[in-house]
A and B are shown apart, each in its own frame.
Chain A
Amino acid sequence: MNRLTEILRGPTAALLHKEFLEAWRDRRALWMAVCFSLLFPAMLAGGSIFMVKKQAEEISRLALLGSASAPLLEQRLRGGGLEVDALAEGDPAELLAGDYDIVLWVQEGFAEEYRNFGAPPLYLYIDSSSSSSPRAQRHLQERLGALQQLVVQQRVTARGLAPQLLAPWRLEVRDVSTPSRRGAVLLAMVPGLLILTLFVASLATSVDTSAGERERLSLETLLLQPLPGWQVILAKTLAVASMGWAGALLALVALVSLMPLMPLAELGIQQATTLSGVLTMGLLLLPLALLVAVVQILLALRSGSFKDAQTQLSILQVAPVLLLMMLDMSRVELGGFFWQLVPLVGQQQWLKALLVGESVPAATLLAGSAATLLLVAVAIRLGARALQREALLSAA
């Protein structure tokens, strides 16, 4: 008890207090953290809303040439996202260059040939360099396919056959995914982005507290205080991590609060993130925030100047996310226990699970977090040693 009070009122607490005041009063760093933390949830939510809205509202414009030869065609093609304009004549290339996504040309004599079972051609003009072309073709295929099926059914029935004869089997698709798991596709990038947020949100602070302090010549004064080096690194790590963690928490909260606005249900996705899941995500990010902070501080202390540190850390923040993406894409089986102990990989896996409402065994969480914290401790020790390097001090 006494020892705790001693620590809380003693030199170490003063050091910590100094580091936090410095970190949180850095407006520029704070803005950077807040902006990035809000940016990606906003983009994710906005993107998905836009995507669904676009999908629901997307209309393809079809120019139907020669529809006088087949009025039924014109009538049955309308609807289902296809807007049909029957034109007496026109140049397909010009029409495609204009407002139309596709052009269907019904040849003269089409109906005659159809009545004679001649399988007359329908000419579909597309512009495969246009982004709307595949969608328009899909729309047309849907409408045309339905009409074709109807004609075939009538023809077969007329010959005394059951239309089932044309379908020797039915393919019944059974999707084993659950609505919550289906969210994994959409939310796949969220763990990486949350981890990226840790890096970005703590970047400015870590550079400022290490390379910045050195460049402002205040580091020497600090090191002259009767405090062990590991405490100096620890205090800086905590201050930097507090910024990164706050950023990641902000992003997480923003994301979860934006989820109800996202049209997840329309995409068949269940919003399964639970409150305890969010709390767990917040907690599991803390050891990682510490690790990111201390690694950033170590690198920044090593670098020659403030600018140099910024450059190095900017590269550093991209590297882990790329690494995670590569691991994801390479289909490495990451479910094994030892992967759970690897910092970043473990946290990414847990975030992934928790986002879709699954739980992560507490033992795994604790073991993985302990492994990360162990690395933090090692890094702090390395940092303490780095503080004794001559090169760290400003030139005489």
Chain B
Amino acid sequence: MAGTRKIIAGLAVLVASLWLRTDALGQAAGAETCYLDGWRNPLRCYRLPIESEPEAPQLAVMVAPAVNNSGEEPLYLLAGGPGQAASDLAPLLNAFEPVNRERDIVMVDRRGAGRSGAFRCGIEDQRSLDLDAFARKLADCYLDRAEFAESLSSRQTVEDLEMVRSRLGHERIALWGGSWGTRTALLYQQWHPQSVSELVLDAVAPIDTKVFLTARAAEDALQALQRDCANDPACARLGNWRAQLDALLESWDQGGRPVLSDPLTGQPLTEPMARWEFANAIRTVLYDPRAAAQLPFAITEAHSGNLQPLVGLSGLFVKSTESMSMGLTFSVACAEELNRISADEIAADSDGTFLGTAFLDLFQHGCRGWPVKEKPYAAPEPRAQPVLLISGEADPITPPRYADEALGYLADKQHLVVASGGHINSPRGCIPELIARFLAQPAEELDSTCTREISRPPFMVASYGPDIGGTAGNPVKEPGTGGRHDSGEEAGE
């Protein structure tokens, strides 16, 4: 009888364990299934209130659950900008699929961005605007929500992330930062080293590096483009487009500034394009090698009076500016970057570059109407976490030298430099695999030879596109004996 009772008790335990398991599947309270554009699979989404500040926007947290959670640290994606939302990084999940097999990937929209109360100023979608008008609009935006603007900072973002980490029950986390996200990641590592296991930093903005001084970096990127174009026989035929660019910049404000048409609607734009806008457009094109490949041709055309290719190029970036939360951008940039840049430094950086102060002017104007208190960083302290650095050789804002020069305090780092690469290289070629391998075995040195296969896309050399070649090719005979017969048949279809 005692035996029978034991068996019944055993069965009861088994049945009970089935119920318990169902409960555990429910995950932490408040998780909902949701989707983000660019990623087909369902995500677990949370809205986490900030307990100390009930009025603050709830944080939007999105988790791409691991296919098979093996208990590895989750990977948190930190977005750039400042002002970009982590939820906009969803398309990256396609590249991070090998990582996602074993790790959760977590995206937290930082306060003031994306789904966590985006701080927009209504100027994000205006492509042509006078600098002063721009600053005025910005100042109005600031005055509307001065307190909120003041509260936004890297420190706050890191503390919010730290709160999310503990609320989701993650002991330690791996960080992927892109562009400005690398700064956030590096600061997180400084302030909460015990919470961070590994870092993957793509387009690195070191803590001590003044990344808003971009004129020199942009010039280097343009020169890398010049070099690659000169090495390509078809592109080389375009001639000295660099000199034409300089001439265009020089003569921009003389004579009538060109009125361009909208690349989407085809309608003429109300405002003519300003010189600073033009220079910035060139700089922006350099972010993406696909766009940069069209630059030499677009300049050549512009020089001969046809501005259409340039307009088309600017159309490539419409979407990326729209996703920025301008209020957040200025709150962080003014308090943490512009505050520490001196006039001498600006002069030294912009001297002899195509960009000059065109990029900084925008921020300097803006920050005047955005009077947040400066929030300087302490000098970084040594850290031992394994760090994978990724740079594009022709990145116009975070060139490889930043990662090489300003991260001496990191004891364990590897640096992948993508030849002729632009800004953000994580999804390209074999780099997703390398990132997965690094996260799996951070102590081992990566074999980066496969990154050499990543190349610039073919240059646009004429209105027909890239040169497909074959100008002086050998005449080709129709293949095979039955070739003519075959082709005849195909023509008949």
Contacts and interface: CB of A to CB of B under 8 A. Distances in A.
Direct A–B touching, Cβ under 8 Å: yes
B466 A151 contact: yes
A276 B102 contact: no
Interface string A81-98: 000000011111110000
A157 interface: yes
Contacts of A324: none
Contacts of A1: 1
B65 interface: yes
Contact of B479 (A65, A71, A79, A280): A65
Interface stretch (B146-154, B388-396, B469-477): B469-477
Given A72-B466, A110-B470, A179 B65 contact: yes
A163 B40 contact: no
A277 B316 CA distance: 52
Interface residues of B, number: 69
Nearest to B15: A362
A173 interface: yes
A276 B464 contact: no
A68 B473 contact: yes
Interface in B257-283: 260-261, 263-264, 266
B315 A163 contact: yes
A266 B466 CA distance: 36
Interface stretch (B16-24, B111-119, B242-250, B408-416): B16-24
Given A92-B486, A174-B40, A174-B42, A156 B464 contact: no
A73 interface: yes
Given A108-B475, A362-B18, A160 B311 contact: yes
A161 B312 contact: yes
Interface in A36-77: 65-66, 68-73, 76
Contacts of B17: 276
Contacts of B468: 70-73, 110-111, 114-115
B447 interface: no
B466 to A, nearest CB: 6
B287 to A, nearest CB: 15
Interface in B452-493: 453, 457-458, 460, 462-471, 473-483, 486-487, 490
Given A111-B468, A117-B464, A265-B102, A165 B18 contact: no
A125 B487 CA distance: 10
B317 to A, nearest CB: 9
Interface stretch (A267-275, A293-301, A382-390): A267-275
A268 B263 CA distance: 40
A269 B67 contact: yes
B40 A173 contact: yes
A221 interface: no
Contact of A89 (B102, B290, B470, B477): B477
Which of B68, B266, B475, B482 has the most CB atoms of chain A within a 10 A radius of its CB?
B68
Contact of A151 (B1, B312, B465): B465
Contacts of A88: 474
A110 B290 CA distance: 24
A312 interface: no
Nearest to B463: A158
B172 to A, nearest CB: 22
A120 to B, nearest CB: 10
A71 B234 CA distance: 12
B264 A276 contact: no
B190 interface: no
Given A69-B470, A163-B315, A276 B42 contact: no
Nearest to A121: B490
Nearest to A114: B468
A123 B487 contact: yes
Contacts of B37: 170, 172
A179 B312 contact: no
A283 B14 contact: yes
Interface string A281-296: 0010000000000000
B469 A155 contact: no
B122 interface: no
B313 interface: yes
A394 interface: no
Nearest to A271: B68
Contact of A359 (B1, B18, B313, B466): B18
A164 interface: yes
Contacts of B465: 150-152, 154-155, 158
Contacts of A125: 486
Contacts of B486: 92, 123, 125
Contacts of B483: 91-92, 105
A270 B316 contact: no
Given A91-B481, A150-B466, 7 more contacts: A68-B476, A72-B466, A105-B483, A157-B298, A157-B309, A163-B316, A178-B42
Interface of B: 1, 14-15, 17-19, 21-22, 25, 35, 37-38, 40-42, 65, 67-68, 101-102, 260-261, 263-264, 266, 290, 293-294, 297-298, 301, 307-309, 311-313, 315-316, 318-319, 453, 457-458, 460, 462-471, 473-483, 486-487, 490
Interface of A: 1, 4, 65-66, 68-73, 76, 79, 88-94, 103, 105-108, 110-112, 114-117, 121, 123, 125, 150-165, 170, 172-176, 178-179, 264-266, 268-271, 274, 276-277, 279-280, 283, 357, 359-360, 362
9 contacts: A108-B475, A121-B490, A150-B466, A157-B309, A158-B312, A159-B308, A162-B315, A165-B264, A172-B37
